[in-house]
Amino acid sequence: MLDIDSHSLSIPPHRIFCIGKNYDKHIKELGGKQAPDEPVVFMKPVCNIVAPGETISYPPAGKELHHEVEVVILIGKKGKSIPESEALTYVSGITLGLDLTLRDVQKKLKKAGLPWELSKSFDQSAPLGIFKNFNSKELDINNLSFSCSVNGNSRQKGNTGEMIFSIPNLIHILSNWWILKPGDIIFTGTPAGVGPLQPGDKMEVESPMIGSYSWHLSPENL
């Protein structure tokens, strides 16, 4: 199993929860008409994590690979049915990541009413920045700006204040379904501006309060 030591906190990764459809403009850019009543939840294997600076192979199974920048949190202690008012006390780290998505595959699966895993959980689909220790007194998690650029060109800009389901709310809801444990990682959703990637592209994610991390796609479609 991948050791999260390379991401600055000595907590082995346990699970990766991902949230879909958490920004209204992103829902609309993909053809959706209204926000969901409850968070859309899917998962990725922890073996899909890619540390900053590593090269990512373009997946062979699809033809339309998209970037989705997200704020990512790390759970530091065990909790069940966590009240929103206490949710941030369970967060030990925060960073940025990319939920890489095979959009053509996802569209096909959605049309057939099938699960998204093939479009979301392929190898190297979870590039993850270095976790920064989280302190709610130093960082306002509900007003955090972040962005994604490709080859130096701005693609996505977002702020956690635009989320449909806030991070404390997500922790509360997830903990009603699962006992959250140290090492659980939550990708919290992506803002508008998702777009295609090509072999050889450089992807960079950045937040003034968190840092900047980048990855390269292999110049060859392997």
- Residue ranges and CATH numbers for the domains of the chain are 1-51+63-163 (3.90.850.10)
Q: Give the pLDDT score at 1.
A: 38
Q: Give the pLDDT score at 221.
A: 57
Token reading at 126: 């979870």
Token pair 């998209």 in the structure block, residue: 66
> Which residue has better confidence, 204 or 27?
204
Closest CA to 204 of 195, 196, 213, 217: 213
Residue 7 has pLDDT above 60, yes or no: no
185-200 pLDDT, tens digit per residue, is 999 999 999 999 999 9
pLDDT band at 10; cut points 50, 70, 90? low
Across the range 80-102, mean pLDDT stands at 97
CA distance linking residue 199 with residue 193, whole number of Å? 19
Residue 93 has pLDDT above 70, yes or no: yes
pLDDT band at 36; cut points 50, 70, 90? confident
56-73 pLDDT, tens digit per residue, is 999 988 999 999 999 999
pLDDT band at 12; cut points 50, 70, 90? confident
Residue 172 has pLDDT above 80, yes or no: yes
